[in-house]
C-alpha cells in the first residue's frame, strides 16, 4: 500500500490548467518586476559570448557576431537577466524533483528505440533548436510564450512556425516517440 502511493506520487504531475495559471503568474511577475518575459536560449547566447570573450578575446573583437553583441550589450555578458533566470530554473527544477521524488539519472525513451539512438537524436535536436532559436530571436519561452502574452506579432509567428513544423515533421519520427 505504502509503495503504491509512492509509485503514484512519483509519476503524478500537477493538473496542466493549474500549472498553466501558475506559469502565467510567474510570467506576469517577470513582466511586472522587469518589464520583460521569460527566456532560455538568450542565457546560452550570453554564456557563449562571455566564454569566447574570456578565452579568445581577439576572436571576440574581430568576428562580426561578437562585435555586434558586445556593442549592443556592453559589460559582462554573464551579468544578464536571463543568465540569472536560467540559474533559477535549474534550482527550481531540482527543488521540484526533490519534492515530487523524481530525481534519477536516466535516459527516457520509447521502448522501441535504444538509449543510444535517443541520445543521438537529443543532441541533434538540441543543435537544431539552438541554431533556430538564434535565427528566430528566441525560443519557445522567450519568443512564443512571452511574445504571446504581450500579443507580439513576432511571438505568434514563432509559435505557429514551431508547432506547425513540429506537426509537419512528427510523422517521420513517430517511431522515436510512440
Reference 33, options 76, 83, 93, 81; nearest CA is 81
160 binds other proteins (CB under 8 A): yes
Binding mask 101-140 for other proteins (x = CB under 8 A): -xxxxxxxxx-------xx-xxxxxxxxxxxxxxxxxxxx
Shortest distance (Å) from residue 1 CB to other proteins:
19
Binding mask 20-59 for other proteins (x = CB under 8 A): xxxxxxxxxxxxxxxxxxxxxxx-xx-xxx--x-------
Quick one: 1 or 172, whose CB is closer to other proteins? Answer: 172
Quick one: 1 or 96, whose CB is closer to other proteins? Answer: 96
CA distance 120 to 115: 9
Shortest distance (Å) from residue 151 CB to other proteins:
4
Shortest distance (Å) from residue 61 CB to other proteins:
14
77 binds other proteins (CB under 8 A): no
3-state secondary structure 27-60: HHHHHHHHCCCCCCHHHHHHHHHHHHHHHCHHHH
Instruction: Find the binder of other proteins among 50, 70, 113, 152 (CB under 8 A).
Output: 152
Q: Would the CA dihedral through 110, 111, 112, 116 be positive or negative?
A: positive
Maximum C-alpha span of the chain: 65
Residue 103, sorted as left (phi over 0), alpha (psi -120 to 50) or beta, turns out to be beta
Instruction: Find the binder of other proteins among 62, 114, 154, 175 (CB under 8 A).
Output: 154
Amino acid at each position: 500500500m505504502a509503495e503504491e502511493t509512492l509509485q503514484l506520487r512519483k509519476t503524478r504531475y500537477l493538473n496542466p490548467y493549474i500549472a498553466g495559471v501558475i506559469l502565467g503568474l510567474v510570467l506576469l511577475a517577470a513582466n511586472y518586476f522587469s518589464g520583460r518575459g521569460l527566456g532560455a536560449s538568450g542565457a546560452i547566447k550570453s554564456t557563449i559570448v562571455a566564454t569566447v570573450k574570456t578565452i579568445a578575446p581577439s576572436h571576440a573583437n574581430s568576428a562580426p557576431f561578437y562585435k555586434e553583441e558586445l556593442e549592443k550589450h556592453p559589460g559582462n555578458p554573464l551579468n544578464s537577466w536571463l543568465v540569472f533566470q536560467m540559474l533559477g530554473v535549474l534550482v527550481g527544477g531540482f527543488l521540484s524533483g526533490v519534492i515530487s521524488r523524481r530525481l534519477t539519472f536516466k535516459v527516457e525513451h520509447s521502448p522501441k528505440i535504444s538509449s543510444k539512438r535517443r541520445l543521438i537524436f537529443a543532441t541533434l535536436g538540441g543543435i537544431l533548436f539552438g541554431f533556430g532559436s538564434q535565427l528566430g530571436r528566441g525560443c519557445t519561452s522567450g519568443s512564443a510564450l512571452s511574445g504571446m502574452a504581450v500579443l507580439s506579432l513576432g511571438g505568434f509567428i514563432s509559435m505557429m512556425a514551431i508547432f506547425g513544423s513540429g506537426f509537419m515533421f512528427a510523422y517521420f519520427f513517430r517511431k522515436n516517440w510512440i
